[in-house]
């Protein structure tokens, strides 16, 4: 596992497709900011060849990987050690290679919580949260949200049974956090506007609005879509018409990357300036 004389430690984001990933840009900014000597590239792996590509990367001296679609479950299975939050998420987005071990972690939920609490200045302690969706993206953020000790977390999903499964899985963690955890189909939404509504459904990808009672949105609600794009998503637009404040997932992307960088380097970069730069690039791509 020598670095073959390379002055820079090697990292990459592995996925399929992966060419569109903003992670190399983000980590290059973090490296400049902190002075850490890293190189960070894209790594395209064929769908059937995740493990062999990771092994080749390790043999070439690679120190860590971010893992994106569709390999997060395989990365979870491939890791020899899992952080508690990766085990809870059932998925891994960050691998660190050290002393023959493959450490798997998941920084997505941390990134979401940090974006909401720090960048969007919305504390989660004691508030009522509605989580829409119960797939991989939703599962990955439940534990980090519970750890902020919200008053209530309601998980609502088109397929009610999947939301109920998450409620069972995280029942103990909720109890430890003093949080009331409930969930099911659309009828599980409780009366009164929520403080925070997180859209973790894949709906925004095809411009579909997840079913959600309009009364869940109010003037004091932060409506957060884990997706992002040059334009506000349909979920964000809908929330805004109901008087809520809306945010997309670009900040989550930056903050999950910052936490990965911290895992690898022991240095915490500042996400805010990189988020501002990405936001400008997204608004005016030709100016980038």
Binding-site members are: 21-23, 68, 93, 108, 133-137, 157-162, 226, 228, 249, 256
Task: Name which position in 135, 185, 218, 220 contacts ligand ATR (CB under 6 A).
Answer: 135
Q: Is 137 in the site for ligand ATR (CB under 6 A)?
A: yes
User: At closest approach, how far in Å is the CB of 163 from ligand ATR?
Assistant: 8
- CB-side exposure of 65: number of CA atoms within 13 Å? 33
Name which of residues 208 to 237 contact ligand ATR (CB under 6 A). 208, 210
CA dist 20 → 41, 44, 69 (Å): 12, 11, 12
Residue 158 in tokens: 């088109």
141 within 8 A of 116, measured Cβ to Cβ:
no
Closest CB to ligand ATR among residues 23, 164: 164
Is residue 211 exposed (0-12), middle (13-18) or buried (19+ Cβ within 10 Å)? Answer: middle
- The contact mask relative to ligand ATR for 152-191 (x = CB under 6 A, - = no) is -----xxx--x-----------------------------
Q: Is 73 in the site for ligand ATR (CB under 6 A)?
A: no
Name which of residues 25 to 44 contact ligand ATR (CB under 6 A). none
Q: Is 203 in the site for ligand ATR (CB under 6 A)?
A: yes
Instruction: Give the single-character DSSP code of 268.
Output: -
- DSSP string covering 46-72, please? -TT-HHHHHHHHHHTTEEEEEE-TT-H
C-alpha–C-alpha distance, residues 259 and 280, integer Å:
22
CA dist 144 → 4, 52, 107, 179 (Å): 38, 31, 9, 12
Listed ranges 48-56, 177-185, 197-205, 264-272: which one lies at the site for ligand ATR (CB under 6 A): 197-205
Listed ranges 104-112, 196-204, 213-221, 237-245: which one lies at the site for ligand ATR (CB under 6 A): 196-204
User: At closest approach, how far in Å is the CB of 247 from ligand ATR?
Assistant: 18
Reply yes or no on whether 72 is catalytic. Answer: yes
C-alpha–C-alpha distance, residues 228 and 224, integer Å:
10
Closest CB to ligand ATR among residues 136, 220: 136
Residues marked active site are found at 72
Q: Name the site residues for ligand ATR (rule: CB under 6 A).
A: 133-138, 157-159, 162, 201-203, 208, 210
């Amino acid at each position: 596992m020598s670095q073959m004389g390379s002055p820079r430690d090697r990292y990459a984001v592995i996925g399929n497709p992966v060419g569109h990933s903003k992670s190399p840009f983000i980590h290059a900014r973090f490296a400049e900011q902190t002075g850490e000597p890293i190189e960070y590239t894209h790594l395209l792996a064929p769908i059937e060849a995740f493990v062999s590509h990771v092994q080749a990367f390790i043999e070439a001296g690679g120190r860590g990987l971010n893992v994106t679609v569709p390999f997060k479950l395989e990365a979870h299975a491939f890791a020899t050690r899992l952080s508690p939050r990766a085990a809870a998420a059932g998925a891994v987005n960050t691998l660190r290679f050290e002393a023959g071990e493959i450490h798997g972690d998941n920084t997505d939920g941390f990134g979401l919580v940090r974006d909401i609490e720090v960048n969007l200045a919305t504390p989660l302690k004691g508030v009522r949260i509605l989580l829409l969706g119960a797939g991989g993206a939703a599962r990955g953020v439940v534990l980090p949200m519970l750890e902020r000790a919200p008053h209530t977390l309601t998980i609502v999903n088109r397929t009610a049974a999947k939301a109920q499964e998450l409620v069972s899985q995280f029942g103990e963690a909720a109890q430890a956090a003093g949080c009331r955890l409930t969930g099911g189909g659309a009828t599980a939404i409780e009366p009164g506007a929520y403080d925070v509504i997180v859209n973790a459904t894949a709906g925004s990808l095809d411009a579909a609005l997840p079913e959600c009672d309009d009364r869940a949105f109010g003037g004091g609600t932060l409506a957060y879509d884990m997706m992002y794009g040059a334009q506000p998503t349909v979920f964000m637009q809908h929330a805004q018409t109901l008087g809520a404040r809306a945010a997309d997932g670009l900040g989550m992307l930056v903050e999950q990357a910052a936490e990965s960088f911290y895992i690898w380097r022991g240095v915490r970069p500042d996400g805010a300036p990189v988020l501002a730069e990405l936001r400008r690039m997204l608004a005016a791509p030709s100016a980038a």
